Amino acid sequence: HAPGPARRLATAQATTALADRGVRSSVVRLAPTVYGDGDQGFLATLVAIARERGVSGYIGDGAQRWPAVHRADAAHLFHLALENAPAGSTLHAVADEGVPIKAVAEVIGRHLGLPIVSVPPDEAAGHFSWMAPFLGLDTPTSAAHTRDRLNWHPTHPGLLEDLDEGHYFTPATT
């Protein structure tokens, strides 16, 4: 089996190729950050790192952007895809096209009462561990085609608004 991204690409190609055999198949690509109450992914990990390090950090100038989607909006898109997506289509579950990492660090720092600091790129791996390569990427992504094709309109709070609600800062989620 192919590792990581190669496996995902092979799976997506096989799924969309089923359309040539009369199968109404589609691929939904989730944003790297799927968030919501109870999330144990990237955001919860960033909160844990901030607590451990005593600062809420971002790499360099913090302008790197992450696409994101609330889990309920992603679920709604899967529903729409099952019912209405054209065979062989590829859809993007992205509500926030690019949230600056610095803005995420600012919300975390404010909630935890920690300083917000820039971490030099050459020190990022030591500070963020396995997350450093992800935090260093600028990956804005558009879902305009998906919205137009399926009339999908995310309605849940954006990433920063959801993070600001505070549920990431309770002991049960970190």
Residue 22: both structure tokens together: 């009369």
Q: Which residue has the higher pLDDT, 11 or 116?
A: 116
Mean pLDDT of 81-107: 95
Neighbours of 10 (CB within 10 A): 12
Q: What stretch of H or E contains 26?
A: strand 26-30
What single-letter DSSP state applies at residue 113? Answer: T
Mean pLDDT of 102-106: 98
CA distance 40 to 173: 7
Q: Is the pLDDT of residue 1 over 50?
A: no
SS3 58: strand
Give the pLDDT confidence score for residue 174 in this predicted structure.
43
Give the pLDDT confidence score for residue 88 in this predicted structure.
87
Give the pLDDT confidence score for residue 3 in this predicted structure.
57
Q: Is the pLDDT of residue 19 over 80?
A: no
Q: Is the pLDDT of residue 172 over 70?
A: no
Q: Which of 20, 13, 155 is nearest to 77 (CA)?
A: 155
**Domains defined along the chain, listed by start:** 32-173 (3.40.50.720)
Backbone angles phi, psi at 99, to 5 degrees: -95, 120
